[in-house]
Amino acid sequence: MKVRGVGQGAPVRNTRSDKKERVQSYVSSDDKQKLNRLARSCNTTESELVNEVLSYFLNHPDFINWIQDRHGVTKEDPFRIVPINDEGKLIY
């Protein structure tokens, strides 16, 4: 008698190249209200707006340098990110 599935292993799924990762954050009620009002004025959802804002800031070298300076990451720190503009795309 042959048992179905025994010895065959589970099928392996491929990872999509455009896979989204879930990141959650708690925001103050003031920031939540501002986000809600801005999302409404732009006729979009809060989630889509947060994604757009996050993408914007993570792809601007001035912000990357400012946030590291604000958190005391020195220029000599081996973990300091040095953003490089490669044909219009920021890499680091």
- In sequence order, the 6+-apart residues with CB closer than 8 A to the CB of 24 are none
6, pLDDT greater than 80:
no
- In the chain, the percentage of residues whose pLDDT exceeds 70 is 90
Q: What is the pLDDT of residue 38?
A: 98
pLDDT in tens, 65-90: 999 999 999 999 999 999 999 998 89
pTM for the model stands at 0.69
φ/ψ region of 57 (left if φ > 0, alpha if ψ in -120 to 50, else beta) reads alpha
